[in-house]
Chain A
Amino acid sequence: MIRYDIIVAGAGTAGVFAALSAAKQGMNVLLLEKTTACGGIGTNGAIAPYYDRSFIDLSADIDKDVFDRQDGSGFLLPLKRNCVSTELLKRAYEQELLKNGVEIIYRAVVSGVLSDGNHVIGLRWHDPQGNHEAGAGVVIDATADGTVLALAGAEFLEDGIRQPYARIYSYLAGDSLWNFGGDAGYVNQDDPENLSLELLKSAAAQVPEQFSEVEKRFLTAPVPGLREGRHLRGRETVRFSDIVHNKQTGNPVAREYANFDTHTIDLVFEDEEFYLFCVAALQWETHFNITIPFGALLPVGMEGIIAAGRMISADHEASQGVRMKGCMKHLGAIAGAAAAISVKKKISLSKVSSQEITALYPLPERAELLKQNTDLWLSDPVEIKEKLKKSNPGTAIWSAYLNGVTEPLYELLDESGFARVHGAFALALQHDKKALKVLRELVEREDQTRSETLRNEPVREPHGAIAAYLLGRLNDKESFPLLCSLFENSRDFFFVSAAWHSLLRLTENNSELRRSGYEVLKSFAEGQRKIPPFRCYCGEICDATEKMKSITLKHLKNITL
C-alpha cells in the first residue's frame, strides 16, 4: 500500500492551505478532491469576497499575484473590484500546490477510513478509475461537513438547527461577474434524500419566466452553498456564550474577526441568548474577536486525524461567526503545520504545542479596530445610561446585562422615546419586572419603531415585536390575552412570531394558562392559517408557516393537560 506523510481530504478553502502548509514543511502530501478544481466555495462556489481578509501570507500572496495580473487576463472580473477572479484562482492554487510537490487527485470521493483501533492510519477513496486506498501519518479532514471524521466514527456536537443554504449560480452583473447566493431554505445534508430533494427544488425555483441577456446566467455552481453542517466534538469547543460573556480562554491558534452572520429565517427560532444578543441587545452586526483553541481541531478519543474548515468544534451559534474564508484558510494552514510537526517528531497531534504552530502562523491582529472584546463593553453605569438614550445604543444594553446594572436605569422608564424602550430592554434581559409596563405598552400599540445597530443599520424587528418576546422571558401571565390577540391578528410577521414564541413559553410554564394556550396553539398547528410573509436576511420573501407549525406540534406533544 502506498503511504503518504499526510493525506488531505477536500481541496476547498481550508484544504488547499492544509496541503500547502504541510508540503512547505517537507511532507509528502496527497490531496483528494471530489470536484475537478481546488478552492471549494471560494472558487467552485464563485464566492469571491472576503468577509474580512486573508489572514495568512500563504493565501494573501496568491491572491495578490492573481489580482495583479487579472486586469489583462481576458477573464470576466468580479463585480466587487477588490475581489480576485474565482476562475483564475483555481489554476493559481493548483500551480502553487504542484510546485510544492503536492499530488492532487480530482473526482476522488473519500469513501472510507483505515484505522488501527482509535488511530486513523489512512483513507479509501473512489474515483472514475475505481476504489483505492493509501496509508498516512496524519489525515486532515477538510471536507467542510466532517465526512471523514464521521466515517472514522468521531463524535459530533448535538445535532441542532443549521443555517439555511444557498443554491449558487454565477451571472452577469453590469459588465462583471457575480454570484447569486440567496437563501434556499433549510437542508439536512446528512440525509441524502433530503439533500437531493432540496437541491432539485432550489434549482427548479430558479427558473425565470424568461431567460434573458440582462443578468445573463452563466453556471449553476457544482458545489452546494452549505453554510453549516456537522460540528466536531473537539477536545476544546468554541462557544457563543463564552464569547459574549468574555470567557474565551486557553491558547488560541487562530482568530476570527466577524459578526454572528446568521441567515436564520427568524431569530425567534434560535437559542434564547442568541436572540437576546442579536435582537434585543442590537448586536447582530457587531464584529468580535473569536479565538479558536487548538483543541477545537482535534476530535475527542481519536488519534491521527485533525479537522480543518467549518466543521471544527464550535456550537451552532458560534459557528455562524466562525466560518469565513480568511479564518478557514488559516485553520487549514494550522492543521497542515500541526500534522507536519506530529509526523516529523513522531508525536500524537494532541502533543503538538500551540506555540510551535503560532510561531509558523501568528494570530491575525486587528489592532486598528479592536484588540480585545472587552474594549467593546462599558462598565460605567452613567455612561451606559447615557448611551441607552440614543437610537443606536451600541453595546450599552448588553453591557448593562453583563454588569448587572439595573437601578440606575429605572429613571429611564419615566422618560420617552429610545431611552424608555432601551431601558426596558436592558432590564428585561435581567429578568427585572420593572420593565413590564413599558413592554406591555409597546405590544399594545404594536410599536413599529426600530433601533439601530452599532453600524447604524435599523434592526429588522420593531420595538413592539421585541417587547412581545421579552414578555415571555418575564413570564408575564397578565399579557397572555394580549399576546394571543397579537398572534392571531397581527399582519406583521415579527409581531406574530414573537407573540407565538412567548405563548409557547407561557403555556408550558403556567398550569393555569395551559388549556387555553394549548387550544390557541393547536388550532394554529392543525388549521389553514398562513403566517404573514416577510423578507429574510438575503432579501427574499419567506413563509415560515410550516416551520412554526412543526415546532408548535413538537411543543404540544410535551404538554400534559
Chain B
Amino acid sequence: MNDYSVLVYGATFWGIGFAAASSGVLVIDPGINPGHEFADTFCTKICRPEQLQTEFARYFYSVLQKHNAIHDGKLHPAALVPMLCSFILEHKINVLLDTILIEKQPVCIMSGASKRNISADQIIDTLTPSGTVWKKYFNALLHGEENAVIPTEYLNGSADSPTIAPGRFSSEAVLHFPVSPGTGYAEARQELEAFWRLRPEMLSKWKIAALAPEFYEITDSSQQKNRFFSQGYSDPLLALDSGIMEALK
C-alpha cells in the first residue's frame, strides 16, 4: 500500500502521538531510534501527569513510571527508545526507520538503496523547526562516581553557559552545553572537549558517558508557528500529547 492520508516526517514523540490517534498515516525517520529528538539529546525533563490532556500520553507516563524510568519529576533518558518502540508495536503504528524524504512533489522516500514514490494528502515535518533557532545545545550524558553532587552554580546557571541537570538516578546527570546556532557537529565536539578538559575541580567526580548524537534546539517561542516541531516541546510527553491532540482535532 502506497497511499497515505498523511506522511509524518520524524518518528518523534509528536509524530508517533499523531499517528497513534489517526489512521492512514505513515511515519518515516532518517534514523533508527524513535524518539531520538529527546532520547539522543538526553532529556531528563518530564511534566506532571495532570498536565497531559490525552489518555494515550497518560498511559505512556504510567508505563514509564511502572518501569522505574521516572522519579521525582525526573526522567531516565535511556528508557525512551525501548519504551517508545514498545508503544509503537503495541499500537501498530506504521513506521519506516532509516528512511529519508527526498522529494515532496511527487513524494519520494528512500530506505537504504530502495526508492519509492508514495502518495500522501499531507506531509507533516516534525524534525525541522519552522521558526528560527535561537538556542542550540550539544549535550553530554554524565555518570557520577560515588557521592558526586552537582555544584549549585551548574544547577542554576544561565542558559548561555554550561549547566548540569540531574537525571532520574543520583549518578545520572546531563551537561547542557550551549553552542551558537550555526555550529556544526565537529566544532561542537571540539568546544565541548576543550571545556571539559579545563573543567573545574568541583566536577571531577563526573565523567562523560556519551556525547549527544543530536543537537537540542530551542526555537522562537511561537508555539503556533512550531506546533509540529517535536523538539520544540519542553519534554517528550508534552510533544506526544500535542501530536495526539492534533490528530483528534
**Which A positions have Cβ atoms within 8 angstroms of B?**
34-37, 44, 73-76, 87-88, 90-91, 94-95, 98, 104, 106-107, 109, 111, 126, 128, 131, 145, 147, 150-151, 169-170, 172, 175, 177, 189-190, 192-193, 195-196, 199-201, 203-204, 206-213, 216-220, 222-224
Instruction: List the A side residues contacting B176 at CB < 8 Å.
Output: none
The answer to whether A210 and B68 have CB atoms under 8 Å apart is yes
For B99, what are the chain A residues with a Cβ–Cβ distance below 8 Å? Answer: 192, 196
The residues in B between 153 and 195 inclusive whose CB is less than 8 angstroms from any CB of A are 168-172, 184-186, 189-190, 193
Q: Are A126 and B189 in contact (CB under 8 A)?
A: no
B197 touches A74 (CB 8 A): yes
Considering the complex, give the chain B residue whose CB is closest to the CB of A151.
Answer: B113
Q: B113 is contacted by which of A98, A147, A209, A211 (Cβ under 8 Å)?
A: A147
Q: Are the C-beta atoms of A213 and B95 separated by less than 8 Å?
A: no
Contact present for A107 and B196 (CB under 8 Å):
no
| Cα distance, A432 to B149, chains bound together (Å) | 72
The contact size tier of chain B is: 35 or more
B31 an interface residue at 8 Å Cβ cutoff? yes
How many angstroms between the C-alpha atoms of A147 and B110 in the bound complex? 11
**A95 vs B111: C-alpha distance when bound (angstroms):** 30
- Contact indicator A211/B68 (Cβ below 8 Å): yes
Q: Lowest 9 CB-CB distances: which A-B pairs, in order?
A: A192-B111, A217-B78, A150-B113, A204-B86, A203-B85, A210-B68, A220-B81, A76-B207, A204-B85
Chain B residues with CB under 8 Å of A150's CB are 112-113
Q: How far is the CA of A104 from the CA of B185 in the complex (A)?
A: 10
Residues of B within 8 A of A (CB): 30-34, 36, 39-40, 67-69, 76, 78-79, 81-83, 85-86, 88-89, 95-100, 102-103, 110-115, 127-128, 141, 143, 145, 168-172, 184-186, 189-190, 193, 196-197, 199, 203-204, 206-211, 213-214
Docked-complex contact A91 and B193, CB < 8 angstroms:
yes
Complex Cα gap A82–B97 (Å): 35
Are A219's CB and B143's CB within 8 A? no
Contact, CB under 8 Å: A94 / B69? no
Question: Could you tell me if A216 and B169 are in contact, using CB atoms closer than 8 angstroms?
Answer: yes
Complex CA–CA separation, A204 to B113 (angstroms): 26
A193 close to B96 (CB less than 8 A): yes
Partner of A192, one of B112, B190, B204: B112
Query: Contacts A201-B89, A203-B33, A217-B76 hold; do A222 and B184 have CB atoms under 8 A apart?
Result: no
Q: Please name the residue on chain B nearest to A230 by beta carbon.
A: B113
> How far apart sit A213 and B34, CA to CA, in the bound complex (Å)?
23
CB distance from B219 to the nearest CB of A (A): 15
Note all chain A residues with C-beta closer than 8 A to B190. 91, 95
- Within the complex, what minimum Cβ distance (angstroms) separates B189 from chain A? 5
Give Cα A145–Cα B170 distance, bound, in whole angstroms. Answer: 41
**Measured between alpha carbons, how far is A21 from B114 in the docked complex, in Å?**
30
| CB–CB B33/A200 < 8 A | no
The contact sample of 12 A-B pairs, CB cut-off 8 A, is: A73-B196, A74-B197, A106-B185, A107-B30, A126-B102, A128-B128, A196-B98, A201-B89, A203-B33, A203-B85, A211-B67, A220-B81
A294 to chain B, nearest CB (A): 25
- The smallest C-beta distance from B164 to any residue of chain A, in angstroms, reads 13
**A87 adjacent to B89 (CB under 8 Å):** no
Known: A37-B185, A175-B145, A192-B98. A222 touches B199 (CB 8 A): no
Tell me the number of A-to-B contacts counted with CB atoms below 8 Å: 172
A104 contact from B31, B172, B186, Cβ within 8 A: B186
Given A76-B208, A172-B209, A222-B33, CB of A203 within 8 Å of CB of B82? yes
- CB pair A199–B97 under 8 Å, yes or no, is yes
From B98, B184, B210, give the contact of A195 (CB < 8 A). B98
Q: Is the CB of B79 within 8 A of A211?
A: yes
Q: Which residues of B contact A208 (CB under 8 A)?
A: 67
**Contact indicator A216/B97 (Cβ below 8 Å):** no
Once bound together, how far apart are the Cα atoms of A204 and B103, in whole Å? 31
User: Is the Cβ of A190 less than 8 Å from the Cβ of B112?
Assistant: yes
> Is A109 a contact of B30 with CB atoms below 8 Å?
yes
The verdict on A219 contacting B111 (CB below 8 Å), with A192-B99, A211-B69 known, is no
Check A90–B96 contact: CB distance below 8 A.
no
Which residue among B97, B99, B190 has the maximum number of chain A CB atoms within 10 Å of its CB? B97
Query: Which A residues lie within 8 Å of B31 (CB)?
Result: 35, 222
- Distance (Å) between the CB of B170 and the closest chain A CB? 7
Interface contact B113-A90, CB-CB below 8 Å = no
Task: Let me know if A74 and B196 touch, CB within 8 A.
Answer: yes
Task: Flag if A196 contacts B96 (CB, 8 Å).
Answer: yes
Q: Which residue of B lies closest to A220 (CB)?
A: B81
* In the complex with contacts A91-B190, A107-B30, A195-B111, A219-B40 CB distance below 8 A: yes
A75 to B207, alpha carbons, bound, how many Å? 5
CA–CA, A353 to B67, complex, Å?
59
Q: Is the CB of A219 within 8 A of B170?
A: no
**In the complex the two chains form, what is the Cα distance from A302 to B184 in whole Å?**
36
Contacts A90-B189, A199-B97, A224-B32 aside, 7 further interface pairs with beta carbons under 8 A come to A74-B199, A95-B190, A106-B185, A106-B186, A170-B209, A209-B67, A222-B40
Q: Which residues does chain B contribute within 8 Å of A107, judged by CB atoms?
A: 30
Across the two chains, which residue of chain A brings its CB closest to B40? Answer: A222
Task: Determine how close the nearest CB of chain A comes to the CB of B174; give it in whole angstroms.
Answer: 11
Q: Is the CB of B83 within 8 A of A207?
A: yes
State how many angstroms separate the Cβ of B28 from the closest Cβ of chain A.
Answer: 9
Contacts of B86 in A (CB 8 A): 203-204, 207
Contact A211 B111 (CB under 8 A): no
A196 touches B95 (CB 8 A): yes
Tell me, rounded to whole Å, the shortest Cβ–Cβ distance linking B128 to chain A.
Answer: 7
Q: Which of A75, A90, A200, A211 contacts B78 (CB 8 A)?
A: A211
A71 to chain B, nearest CB (A): 12
Contacting residues, chain A, for B168 (C-beta < 8 A)? 211
Q: Tell whether, in the assembled complex, residue B169 and residue A219 are in contact, meaning their CB atoms are under 8 Å apart.
A: no
A171 to chain B, nearest CB (A): 8
Task: Take A90-B211, A220-B78 as given contacts and tell me if A190 and B67 are in contact as well, using a CB distance cutoff of 8 Å.
Answer: no
Closest-CB distance, B187 to chain A (whole angstroms): 10
**Cα–Cα distance between A175 and B207 once the two chains are bound (Å):** 10
- Which A residues lie within 8 Å of B96 (CB)? 192-193, 196
